[in-house]
Amino acid sequence: MKSLFLSFIAVTIISIASWGFLSYGTTRGYVEYLAGGDYRRLHPELIASPDIIKLFDMGHTTSYASWAWLGLIQYVGDNVGGNRFLSFSHSILTQITDLHPYFNRPYEIDLIFAPLSSGENTTLQEKVVNKQIAINAINLGKKGITRLCDSQKIEKIKTREISERLWNDETLKNPCASGMLPYYLAFTTYQMGENRAKAAEYYKIASMNDDGPKASRILGILALSGEGDYMASALNFALVGSTGYDTDPYSCRAIAEDLSHDLLAKRKPDSTWIHSLEKIDQGLKDTKNESNPISNSSDNCYDMTTRSIKTIYLSYIADLAKGTNAKNGADLIRLGKIESIPTLSIHKGYSVREKNGIWEYQAK
């Protein structure tokens, strides 16, 4: 009896020590304070692998995954400014999903955090790093699809055309535990330009889930539109914006919805609409803030809605340039096609040019 009690004590001590070792190794064992900096940095290469954790977790694998999830939330909160958390977050999210594969939120968060757009001041090295982070998020999202979706339903949905008949097929309803996973995966895949057909496929899957955004139905079709189809791209951005991050009173979402209705009705850009959009743009407020990482996600309402407006401007400019030899905004003004080039309020001073048949903005 005494030996049994001592064995129990030994196992308990080992369990506590193992848990403490893993906890320390995942959060405190590799925390640094950077010289001259005020934020923590965790090193992905020192994260214990899922196999190692399972050797020591004494059967508490999912509990450890939940603990790591809470630790990540705190870490992101400490490092949200400037997206400093991204290099670490993917590694810990991958670990969490390996330990708790049916916890859907980590897959979605990794896709939401993916840095899809690069500002004018982004260096080439930063662009390469950002692209790799986004690709890693896509790969983790794909893994989530295999774990959290009904493979038989998915295969059948893939073979079907996007139509009311498909959406009304009760046997294929709700193929995934969450419709947001294929939705975010579709959005990230499309924005990265990796595979538009695959993006359309993921949108189609999302459209079959009751909790998937209704915009998925149209976005699946738009994903296959050509690169030079300005109005299709504008509709894509407006639809995503209508479901993106916004704050009360959600005026940005309302504007995005109105834009979507106009674009779905095939409204043609003219001077009246352009002037109206310029006023709308001036009234839009950027709701991103450094204390909320979700507000900085690539599909937030402000970014998507302004991109929609900008693309409508480009469609208008491209139409004015038809039948002329204009190659830039100055040419259009000189030819009397337009008095001034419409630009977003955040892009004042930008010019436009035609490159390989596509009109685009550029900083002067």
Looking at residue 16, what is its pLDDT?
A: 40
Looking at residue 5, what is its pLDDT?
A: 40
58 has a pLDDT exceeding 50 = no
**Higher local confidence (pLDDT), 292 or 233:** 233
Structure tokens at 144: 């989530």
- Between CA 274 and CA 67 the distance in angstroms is 51
Of 85, 103, 121, the residue that ends a domain is 103
What is the rounded average pLDDT of the residues 65-76? Answer: 44
- Between CA 85 and CA 134 the distance in angstroms is 14
Looking at residue 172, what is its pLDDT?
A: 97
Cα–Cα nearest to 207, from 177, 185, 174, 232: 174
Please check whether residue 35 lies inside any domain of the structure: yes
**Higher local confidence (pLDDT), 3 or 286:** 286
Where does the pLDDT of residue 85 fall: very low under 50, low under 70, confident under 90, or very high at 90 and above?
low
Please check whether residue 356 lies inside any domain of the structure: yes
Of 71, 103, 135, the residue that ends a domain is 103
Where does the pLDDT of residue 292 fall: very low under 50, low under 70, confident under 90, or very high at 90 and above?
low
Amino acid identity, position 357: G
On whether both 99 and 231 belong to a single domain, the answer is no
Looking at residue 68, what is its pLDDT?
A: 44
What is the average pLDDT value for the chain, to the nearest integer?
77
Looking at residue 83, what is its pLDDT?
A: 52
Please check whether residue 53 lies inside any domain of the structure: yes
Q: Which residues pair with 180 in a beta bridge?
A: none
Of 75, 103, 131, the residue that ends a domain is 103
Please check whether residue 257 lies inside any domain of the structure: yes
- Between CA 60 and CA 122 the distance in angstroms is 43
Where does the pLDDT of residue 123 fall: very low under 50, low under 70, confident under 90, or very high at 90 and above?
confident
Q: Is residue 341 helix, strand or coil? A: coil
Predicted TM-score of the model (pTM): 0.63
Please check whether residue 10 lies inside any domain of the structure: yes
If one counts the domains in the chain, the total is 2
What is the rounded average pLDDT of the residues 259-279? Answer: 95
Looking at residue 117, what is its pLDDT?
A: 60
Please check whether residue 232 lies inside any domain of the structure: yes
N-terminal to C-terminal alpha carbon distance within the chain: 84
**Higher local confidence (pLDDT), 37 or 329:** 329
3-state helix, strand, coil in the chain (%, to 5): 65, 5, 30
Looking at residue 17, what is its pLDDT?
A: 42
- Per-residue pLDDT of 176-224, as tens digits, reads 999 999 999 999 998 887 688 999 999 999 999 999 988 898 888 888 8
Task: For residue 61, give its domain range.
Answer: 1-103
